[in-house]
A and B are shown apart, each in its own frame.
Chain A
Amino acid sequence: MIANPPVELTDLAQVERALAADRERGTGSVRATTLNLVVYAPTAQDVSFTQRALERIGGSRPLRAIVATAGSGGVRATVSTSCWLGSGMQQVCSEQIFLTARADALPSAVLSLLVTDLPTFAWWQGPIPEGLGVLADLARLSSFTVVDSNISSLEGVARVGGLDSWVTDLAWLRLEPWREAVASVFDRPAAAAALAEVRTACVEGPINEARLLAGWLSSRLGRDVELQHDERTHVERVAVRCGGPEYVIERPAGGHVGRAYGEGTTEHPIVLPILDASTLLGRALDIRAADEVFEAALASAVGRAA
């Protein structure tokens, strides 16, 4: 990665010029930008976490990141460009604008810096505040809002879903290999019949992921599926009980390959990667439509708890 030195500015009107100057210093060729990513980073720790995530994904998805932090005093922006060399001479470049302004001034500052006519994502890293506040303002600027129910709550995610922006939950994306594994157990005609008997899901993993999984099963099967839960840092085991027979997917703690077994299925290995935050964020940025399966799973998970 090649990074141009950051430029600090107090006049947002200068931001585009500074980025254009960065482009001039590079290869001078036309560069593509595919999306805007607005990140709310309340603390210095969030800012550096964001910086690392951007370094991981900026090369595969050329984007303009606007990292917003609430502070006192006037608007300040630090602008820089990072480029990655692809095959041949071409570069993939991402722009970062670290923005500090009073909380009530942030949305308008962000709005002035978005690249026109590109999909815009808001990435909210922390817990979801009761009244939504700045989150609601940023979500309104964006077509997609990315949150993580593992660090907030499913109820909070549902509230964000009420705004005029599609919601992507990183916890849901983390579960994708597990959902695939569970679904594949029921591809066999013999096991498909057992679907009608699914009563209970026993999940060892974070509570919100466990609730989402049970919500997913309930909403897909159109019937209440009971959740039994043991807390773990990552999902390690999912057992689906169908009256008598049980189907199990498990992965050793920290491993990448687990196994699946159950009545009438041959035990087999199964790839269940632990996906890190930047991989998940990258996947979230590839989603460009509403995920109805997620919405139904969330509604079911939240509805049941209420």
Chain B
Amino acid sequence: MAQVVSDPKTNPLRVGLRAGGATVPAVFVIFGATGDLAHRKLLPAIYNLGARGLLPNRFAVVGYARSEMTDDEYREQARASLERFSRTQIDESYWTAFADSLHYVSGAFDDQEAFRALGERLARIDAGHGTEGNRVYYLSTPASFFPVIVDNMGQTGLNDPAGFARVVIEKPFGHDLETARELAETVHRSFQERQIYRIDHYLGKETVQNIFVFRFANAIFEPVWTNRYVDHVQITVAESLGVEHRAAFYEETGVVRDIVQNHLLQVLALVAMEPPAAFEADAVRDEKTKVLRATRPLSFENTVRGQYGSGFVAGEEVPAYAQEEGVPADSNTPTFIAARMEIDNWRWAGTPFYIRTGKRMPKRVTEVAVQFKRVPHLPFTMGAAEHLEANSLVLRIQPDEGISLRFGAKAPSPTVAISTVNMDFLYGSAFLHDVPEAYETLILDAIRGDRTLFTPQDGVERSWEICDPLLEQWRSGTPQVYASGSWGPEAAFELITRDGRRWRRP
């Protein structure tokens, strides 16, 4: 059937209108609609998009889960979660319209009859809401359910509606390369790659997207963004929290699967990628994948693993990982990694990327520090430049997003004395807009069909190829214990000092 398109070519009234919102009608189907993610993130994000006028005018949400419930009961649940979790207050006049667009279908994931009933319900909703057979399916369930859900969608025709079908899946995308491929094969049985939206909510954060703008919208940084001028790059993703209540999950996962394989490699790719021809899905994703292809896999020799011991974080005494509830006393799960990484391409050969990430660090901070080389010749007396440090440019992602440039300046004195100064720009001092939640950005993109911020399968596979050899080597041996509230084990410092460099103190 002919699809609705909000295209200025066919509809001249569209010229100059609403670049930001979604216009093509659709039904948003949440599998696992009663779960934690649906209530804490998805429903509030959809509500806020709608209240800001960014959803298509013809739109509906259908929740699917096992619990028996009527539409009205689901609306009540949704209302309660909005009251708890939405970043904005509920606007009563919009709530009425939003509630009308919320529906619920009860059924198990392995029940094809229930899927057929869902399909019939969706057809009725199309008739009632004018949503034209367009579907965005969101699998908000543990990954173990993906295969059965996707297969049943295929067998009951939910993957092939009258309009378009897209499927959004949450990480983890596999546990290693092999399971990542299996998962892709499963999903590909019912959907083509271009219909699949793999969400890494990290990429929806304004601050992460800003790395891209910073690099490619400013003429002054890109020319020096190479091994010719950059001595090395440091990426730090530090959390002050411990494992909290997720011991079972974390025991299975560990720091590499939890942070490195997805978030950290994504940040590395954004920092190191070549400029894409356009900020468009294929161009951006290809460049990111290309730089990951050039990134050498993590190796045992160039990494240090740690596990937090007891200690103090921000003045509070905290227990060791091995003493946390649900963690076996002899657990070998790493909560920290420091690594020296290399990118074998024209731009970066010889410029190492040092990464570190861990739990129970002194504070929560994510930053990228680009350390420049020293000038080739200092035309000053030794004494004048004694304390001069090399230039560095720090992109702080969280908290207090900003950019800080370190350079040398003449200290006021009758002779030439150079000291190092920092020039800070805090993003938040220039813009105090209410920042959308990452899920809002990503859900809107999925509804609009913009895949730029979603991870393609080749990118997922490459990131596993980078991590898998190390995960294999780490099966044996034990992590070094570091005190909670420190920047990791001693060996992490040696990893960088042996190269004649040192970690920044974020």
Contact = CB atoms under 8 A, between A and B. Distances in A.
B16 A180 contact: no
Contacts of A180: 17-18, 21, 53
Contacts of A189: 2-4, 10
Interface magnitude class on chain B: 35 or more
B94 A256 contact: yes
Contact of B130 (A222, A257, A268): A268
B110 interface: no
A89 interface: yes
A56 B25 CA distance: 34
A186 B23 CA distance: 11
Contact of B428 (A90, A176, A192): A90
A60 interface: yes
Interface stretch (A3-11, A95-103, A157-165, A269-277): A269-277
B49 to A, nearest CB: 10
Contacts, number: 129
A59 B57 contact: no
Nearest to A193: B10
A190 B4 CA distance: 9
A67 interface: no
Contact of B11 (A92, A181, A187): A187
A192 B423 contact: no
Interface in B247-279: none
Contacts of A273: 53
A183 B17 contact: yes
Contacts of A269: 57, 97, 100-101
A91 interface: yes
B469 interface: no
Interface stretch (B147-155, B171-179, B429-437): B429-437
A29 B129 contact: no
Interface in B47-63: 50-51, 53, 56-58
B13 A179 contact: yes
Given A30-B425, A181-B57, A270-B57, A257 B12 contact: no
Contact of B57 (A31, A93, A260): A260
A270 B59 CA distance: 10
Given A180-B17, A184-B23, A187-B4, A29 B426 contact: yes
B11 A192 contact: yes
B15 A91 contact: no
Interface stretch (A80-88, A126-134, A141-149): A80-88
A288 interface: no
Given A183-B17, A271-B50, A31 B11 contact: no
B96 interface: yes
Interface string A238-276: 000000000000000001110010000110111101000
Contact of A91 (B57, B127, B429): B429
Nearest to A258: B97
Contacts of B424: 29-30
B132 to A, nearest CB: 8
B144 interface: no
A111 interface: no
A115 B233 CA distance: 36
Interface string B95-135: 01100110000000000000000000000000111100000
B399 interface: yes
Contacts of B430: 32, 34, 62, 92
Nearest to B14: A183
B351 interface: no
B5 A187 contact: yes
A177 to B, nearest CB: 6
A257 B97 contact: yes
Interface in A25-52: 29-32, 34
A257 B4 contact: no
A256 B93 contact: yes
Contacts of A88: 399-400, 428
Interface residues of A, number: 53
Contacts of A84: 432
Nearest to A273: B53
Contacts of A270: 57
Contacts of B10: 189, 192
A14 to B, nearest CB: 25
A2 interface: no
A66 interface: no
B428 to A, nearest CB: 4
Nearest to A291: B16
Nearest to B18: A180
A221 B129 contact: no
A29 B428 CA distance: 12
Given A62-B430, A92-B430, A32 B13 contact: no
Contacts of A59: 432
Nearest to B24: A187
B6 interface: yes
A32 B50 CA distance: 32
Given A60-B432, A177-B53, A187-B23, A90 B12 contact: no
A92 B5 contact: no
Contact of A221 (B12, B91, B433): B12
B57 A86 contact: no
A195 interface: yes
Contact of A217 (B13, B51, B91, B101): B13
Nearest to B434: A60
B179 to A, nearest CB: 38
Given A266-B128, A273-B53, A29 B18 contact: no
Contacts of A291: 16
A195 B11 contact: yes
Contacts of B14: 183, 187
Contacts of B93: 255-257
A292 interface: yes
A220 interface: yes
B400 A89 contact: yes
Given A60-B431, A62-B429, A187-B14, 17 more contacts: A29-B429, A32-B425, A60-B432, A90-B400, A92-B428, A176-B17, A179-B17, A181-B57, A183-B6, A183-B14, A189-B2, A189-B3, A192-B11, A256-B94, A257-B93, A257-B96, A268-B58
> Would you list the 10 A-B pairs with minimal beta carbon distance, nearest first?
A266-B130, A269-B97, A293-B16, A32-B430, A183-B13, A86-B428, A256-B93, A90-B428, A92-B432, A88-B400
20 contacts: A30-B426, A32-B430, A59-B432, A62-B432, A87-B428, A88-B399, A89-B400, A92-B431, A93-B429, A180-B17, A183-B6, A183-B11, A183-B17, A186-B11, A189-B4, A195-B11, A195-B13, A221-B12, A255-B93, A266-B58
